[in-house]
Amino acid sequence: MGSLVVFGILWIVGSLLGEWGATAWIDSAPNGTGPYFGTASNLGLVGVHAFDFLIWVAVPIFVFVVLMILFAMFKFRARRDENVTNAPSQVRNNKAFVGTWIVISILLNLLIWLHPNASGLEQVFAAQLPANNPKPVVIDVTARQWEWIFSYPQYHITQSLNASGQDTLYMPVNRPVKFVLRSYDPFHSYAHQVDVIHGFWIPAFGVKYDVIPGETRILYLTATKLMSTETNPMARVQCSEVCGPGHPYMEANLHVVTGSQFAAWAKAQAARG
């Protein structure tokens, strides 16, 4: 019984220290996003919260297993003065321990399946409902080898370009955006539906979405932080599907700006024709 008490105390202390360390690690990152580099979208934060929860659950389990191994090695080791040549068998079968271990393992698996797995998916599915995205900014995204083209039909912008003539994506912060994703070459009418699968990926948003020839796919997303490619390299549009020799260079700059800045930008873009 004494060994169980000592083990229990060590486990509680080790778990508390582990949870403190995990929380400090998570809180030390930008916006408390742990190993995620500045995740800044409503969908990406679902993944961040799921990861954080799994870390907090895993810490006491990890401490328990490691501590049991170390505790057994120390407590039940053979002393120098012991004759272990003809030692009796020390194999034990504790049905209560085995049964408890199995029940707790099943309950933990059920917990993780319910949360954050099922609950997180429910949040992601809910975030894709038009009713939960009032008055979105509609951005048509066309993927072609090897370029991203962005147009804003609400603002009469046929192709969003920066001062250097490069494709660029502008989004207002904390406002829903409806991405309409297609893969084809709009500059060659004979090949209207001829392209390959591309992957619409913004690392800072924690989202990847396949863009498939012949399909129109919709992605609702809300940016939650002001950022730009110039200040954060993870804030960029990058193709995540190998789509040919130009794949590594199929990227575009991203700017998440305030509502007033976005309105001014859109007006200037529309004036350029």
Position 1 scores a pLDDT of 66
Q: Is the pLDDT of residue 197 over 80?
A: yes
pTM for the structure as a whole: 0.81
Position 79 scores a pLDDT of 73
Q: How far apart, in whole angstroms, are the C-alpha atoms of residue 59 and residue 78?
A: 30
**Mean pLDDT estimate for the chain:** 87
Q: Is the pLDDT of residue 122 over 60?
A: yes
Between residues 31 and 177, the one the model is more confident about: 177
Confidence class for position 102, pLDDT limits 50, 70, 90: very high
Position 97 scores a pLDDT of 82
Q: Per-residue pLDDT averaged across 94-106, rounded?
A: 89
What would the pLDDT profile of 31-83 be if each residue is shown by its tens digit? 545 556 668 899 988 988 888 899 889 999 999 999 989 988 887 777 777 66
Position 90 scores a pLDDT of 66
Rg (C-alpha) for the chain, rounded Å, is 27
Position 87 scores a pLDDT of 65
The residues facing 139 across adjacent strands are 179
Contacts of 32 (CB under 8 A, 6+ apart): 26
Position 27 scores a pLDDT of 74
Q: Per-residue pLDDT averaged across 208-235, rounded?
A: 92
Using alpha carbons only, what angle is made at residue 52 by residues 49 and 57, rounded to the nearest 5 degrees?
Answer: 125
Position 34 scores a pLDDT of 55
Residue 81: phi and psi, rounded to 5, are -90, 5
Residue with structure tokens 């407590």? 75
Between residues 153 and 27, the one the model is more confident about: 153
If we measure between CA atoms, which residue out of 123, 263, 129 comes closest to residue 206? 123
Position 149 scores a pLDDT of 96
Phi-psi group of 163: left, alpha or beta (phi > 0 → left; psi -120 to 50 → alpha; rest → beta): alpha
Structural domains of the chain ordered from first start: 2-75+99-127 (no CATH), 135-272 (2.60.40.420)
If we measure between CA atoms, which residue out of 158, 154, 160 comes closest to residue 136? 154
